[in-house]
Amino acid sequence: MSDMSSHSAEERTVNTSQMKVSDTEVAIDVVGMHKWYGDFHVLRDIDLKVMRGERIVIAGPSGSGKSTLIRCMNRLEEHQQGQIIVNGVELTADLKRIDEVRREVGMVFQHFNLFPHLTILQNLTLAPIWVRGIPQAEAEATAMHYLERVKIPEQANKFPGQLSGGQQQRVAIARSLCMQPKIMLFDEPTSALDPEMVKEVLEVMISLAEEGMTMLCVTHEMGFARQVANRVIFMDQGQIIEQNDPETFFSNPQHERTKLFLSQILH
Amino acid sequence: MSFSYVRDHMVEPRPAPVNTAGPIAWARRNLFATPSDSLMTILAIVLLIWAIPPIYGFVAPNFLGGDAVPPGGIVEECRLETAGACWAYISARMSFFIYGFYPAEEYWRPNLVFALGALLIVPLLIPRVPFKRTNAILFFVVYPVICFYLLNGGVLGMRPVPTEQWGGLLVTLIISLVGIICSIPIGILLALGRQSKLPIIKTLCVMFIELWRAVPLITVLFMASVMLPLFMPQGTTVDKLLRALVGVTLFSSAYLAEVVRGGLQALPRGQYEAASSLGLSYWKSMWFIILPQALKHVIPGIVNSFIALFKDTSLVSIVGIFDLLNTVQAASSDIEWSSPTQAITGYLFAGMVFWVFCFAMSRYSIWMERRLDTGHKG
């Protein structure tokens, strides 16, 4: 398994001292959830319980519904049946609840989705100021703190269009962190990046995991999954087919579909 | 056998060859690139030689070698068979073209309105000038109120001047400024409403937009001035100018709504999703994220609508409002200045005034577009 296609910092040892998975506290609870796009049954009977502090990697072929699943968790997509409970709040059509959930759940997108008309600093402070009501000076201090954490404080007054893809994605992560979320969702955060920039983004994600952040990550970075995840979920055709700890998942996959998938992406 | 090659010094940049830079190269590339290009260039030059001298002769006053009668001239000169444009007539009737039938001894009131307007709008349009918020409040809220009382009178001992007496450039500017300023928010709300998920709001907005877009402005103005009073209870009158203002504003807001909708649809879905995922409410994400980008994308379309609106204000003449064009038209039957070129000089003047304002708007929008460009990358 040593020749797996992985850009993650193999040389870096992950500090697991603060990675604690809670036994009692549930972060996200998905119960019997179904979703359709028109007549197309995208997600079928999803049951998933995410404990506080878990780091879950969701893998699977394209079109298997992995992105749709995590987009349901902050209701960028609506589900039609079953329950999704995030931080104890059930997601329904109620806008107040949706906003309450979104305030506590950060999301990072494949295409970064920074606001191109605002500077990096404005990108980071907009939501804290206008959603949380934090004074501007304090929001800017927090923003600079997180920009330092993702190692690009010198870019604060530039516009997103002036940054490289990897830098933009790190800004996007910092933007989510400025809202002090309890859960972070990553939707293929490295898929749109040049190979040289994947590492710098994964590096930030690893350090987040080291601090005990609850993370759900749709990704094809299997090296990251092995290093950081405590659970790998494999989806196909809108269903969770297999889930296991990474060691077992990679070395001893149970389902035929999983074996096929792994054999294809790990050469 | 194997080769190896490693470059150990870089080639210095050299100046471009002479035939790719300089005026001769420019002319060769742009004017005489092919035989047909050369032919077109020569034809165009011939056309210019044929057209420019007579036009210049007609427009330029005699001290610049033309046949036109300069401002301050007398009517007899204009009546000569060889005379060009009669600028003397324009300068003599200038106050009519600017103020219409506004009483001459009260001209200081519109003058003050013009001066205040210029004083407030110039710093508003220059981004470097500070106090934008105060400036905007003064211009959009305080200024219209002051203008109304100044022009209308009836307070502070100023004698009342009914809107029937307002006219000329004053009325043209009032209608277009009010139309432009009021149609922006209405147009934006209509565009947002048209994209709404709430069926009633969406239907109402679509109906409103399609209704106003499908009716000619002349019809709107006729309806406002002839039909509307029939539906109103007896004894209530709504000012004619006000009716025209409302008609022009609603008409232009329907067009603006469609322009803005284009901008909203051009934004990637990711922008909406990123705003939502940060917990921004609908109105906040529209205000901070969506509209600034969408409006920036459609500046050319918006300014296009404004230019159209500015020129369309001349249609209010058919309901008896004396805008700039109507005053020019009315003055052209003035016996005192009757001459062969009286009417055409009037229309030339009106055309030039419209052109100056529209060209300024166009240039300003191009400049603004460049300034707001931060490199569109998602």
The pLDDT value recorded for residue B229 is 75
- Asked if B194 and B261 touch (Cβ cutoff 8 Å), the reply is yes
Rounded to a whole number, what is the distance in Å from the CA of A170 to chain B's nearest CA?
14
The pLDDT value recorded for residue A1 is 38
Q: Which tokens belong to B3?
A: 């080769």
CA nearest to B110, candidates B126, B99, B121, B119: B99
Q: Which residues of chain B have pLDDT under 70?
A: 1-2, 375-378
Residues of B in contact with A160 (CB under 8 A): 377-378
What's the mean pLDDT when you consider all of chain A? 90
The CA distance from B208 to A3, in Å, is 64
The average pLDDT across A144-172 equals 93
Provide the number of CB pairs (under 8 Å) joining chain A to chain B: 76
* Residue B312 maps to a domain: yes
Q: Which tokens belong to A157?
A: 């007054």
The CA distance from A203 to A214, in Å, is 16
Identify whether residues B251 and B208 lie together within a single domain.
yes
* Residue B356 maps to a domain: no
Location of structure tokens 């004619």: B240
* Residue B9 maps to a domain: no
Identify whether residues B254 and B303 lie together within a single domain.
yes
The pLDDT value recorded for residue A11 is 55
CA nearest to B300, candidates B248, B370, B354, B353: B370
Closest in B271, B288, B292 to A130, CB measured? B288
The CA distance from B229 to B232, in Å, is 5
Identify whether residues B64 and B209 lie together within a single domain.
no
Identify whether residues B230 and B259 lie together within a single domain.
yes
CB atoms within 10 A of CB B38: 13
Identify whether residues B251 and B311 lie together within a single domain.
yes
Residue contact A114–B376, C-beta within 8 A? no
Q: Specify the pTM.
A: 0.83
Q: Kindly provide the ipTM of the predicted complex, given to two decimals.
A: 0.89
CA B276 vs. chain centroid, Å, equals 37
Identify whether residues B136 and B250 lie together within a single domain.
no
Q: Which is it for strands A214-218 and A40-51: parallel, antiparallel or unpaired?
A: unpaired
Residues of B in contact with A74 (CB under 8 A): 276-277
Query: In CATH, what number is assigned to the domain containing residue B205?
Result: 1.10.3720.10
DSSP string covering A70-90: HHHTTTSS--SEEEEEETTEE
Q: Which tokens belong to B329?
A: 């038209």
- Asked if A205 and A185 touch (Cβ cutoff 8 Å), the reply is no
The pLDDT value recorded for residue B378 is 38
* Residue B368 maps to a domain: no
DSSP-H helix ranges across A8-158: 66-72, 95-104, 120-130, 136-149
Residues of B in contact with A159 (CB under 8 A): 374-375
Closest in B277, B284, B296 to A130, CB measured? B284
Q: Which of A71, A103, A117 to mutate to test the interface with B (most CBs of B within 10 A)?
A: A117
A110-145 confidence digits (pLDDT tens): 999 999 999 999 999 999 999 999 999 999 999 999
Identify whether residues B166 and B203 lie together within a single domain.
yes
Identify whether residues B176 and B309 lie together within a single domain.
yes
* Residue B355 maps to a domain: no
Q: How many CA atoms lie within 13 A of A240 on its CB side?
A: 21
- φ/ψ of B103, rounded to 5, equals -60, 135
Identify whether residues B169 and B294 lie together within a single domain.
yes
The CA distance from A94 to A97, in Å, is 6
* Residue B209 maps to a domain: yes
Angle at CA of residue B80, ends B76 and B85, nearest 5°: 90
Beta bridge partners, A107, equal A185
Give me the domain span that covers residue B75: 22-91
The pLDDT value recorded for residue A106 is 95
Q: Residue A265's pLDDT band (boundaries 50, 70, 90)?
A: confident
Identify whether residues B79 and B172 lie together within a single domain.
no
The pLDDT value recorded for residue A10 is 52
Total of domains in chain B: 3
CA nearest to A207, candidates A242, A174, A167, A241: A174
The average pLDDT across A206-215 equals 92
* Residue B343 maps to a domain: no
Rounded to a whole number, what is the distance in Å from the CA of A119 to chain B's nearest CA?
9
* Residue B8 maps to a domain: no
Identify whether residues B172 and B264 lie together within a single domain.
yes
Q: Which tokens belong to B10?
A: 């870089």
Residue contact A130–B374, C-beta within 8 A? no
The pLDDT value recorded for residue A178 is 94
Residue contact A115–B377, C-beta within 8 A? no
Identify whether residues B236 and B320 lie together within a single domain.
yes
CA nearest to A57, candidates A257, A266, A247: A247
- Residues 283-312, chain B, touching A (beta carbon < 8 A): 284, 288-289, 292-293, 296
